[in-house]
Amino acid sequence: MKPFNMEISSLSYKEVKTYIDEIDIYEEMKEDNFFRLIENLKSDSRKNVSSLGIRLEKSKEKIEKEILRVRSMYEFDRSFGDYKYIAGVDEVGRGPLAGPIVACAVILDEDVLDEELILGINDSKKLSEKKREELASIIREKALAYEIAISSHTEIDNKGIAYSNNKVFLDACNNLNIKPDLVLSDGYLVKSINIENKYVIKGDTKSACIAAASIVAKVYRDNLMKKYAEKYPYYNFEDNAGYGTIKHVEGLKKFGPCEIHRKSFLTKIL
């Protein structure tokens, strides 16, 4: 941590705040003098300065709580047994009226130290778009392997959503660069998979590798639907990702379906 060259009491509130705002709390909280900094701030006679110490302490506690939460997700994955490589697989896009269904399989290093945990991983729907984008990049960088699989709107219409859902699970798992010893799937078992497979109810909130897969799959599909929005501007795909929102249905009724609509999903709308 960059040290103060003077006593806090000799610095203005603005100078102290500028220093605090530049701190990487996650990195600096491991240092002994970080605790001393918090105590010095809290004991300052100026309320606005002491409030910075309280804010810093709360931020530290929040990160510590997050470390425990994410560590438990990694431990959950390891609890299934002594497997070298565990893949989590999840899908996004089962319910939309348009676009593909997308699955992702992810293998994480389940034995990392706290410093290498991917903090923030969770059910992708519980995260902001910005946070999902940030995490997807980190996951792709830190994962031992990941694979994305797609089943198009045409395949969904021809084969059914259940078939397509299982197909993207299979494709994502089978095409990983590292063959997993165990696949953890969100919600239900993968049919016809030749790898040991266990399902986890609400797996994207319990399992580190399933949560990671959920995030990468959603970011990929959301960005794909934004590109489709440029080609098909009448359905608000950039905001609804193909789901049946009011604007989407209004566009369907006014302009009819476009090339990427799932015709089998529109029978009760048109």
HSE value, Cβ hemisphere, 13 Å, CA-based, for 222: 16
Where are any strands of DSSP class E within the chain? 86-92, 101-107, 145-151, 182-186, 197-200
* Per-residue tokens: 99: 């676009």
Tokens 């830190």 — which residue?
A: 142
Bridge partner residues of 146 (DSSP): 106
Confirm or deny that 91 is annotated as ligand binding.
yes
Tokens 């009760």 — which residue?
A: 268
Q: Count of CB atoms within 10 A of residue 43's CB?
A: 12
- Contact between 244 and 99 (Cβ < 8 Å): no
Instruction: State how far the Cα of 265 lies from the Cα of 154, in Å rounded to an integer.
Output: 12
Instruction: State how far the Cα of 136 lies from the Cα of 217, in Å rounded to an integer.
Output: 9
**Binding-site positions for a divalent metal cation:** 90-91, 186
**Binding-site positions:** 90-91, 186
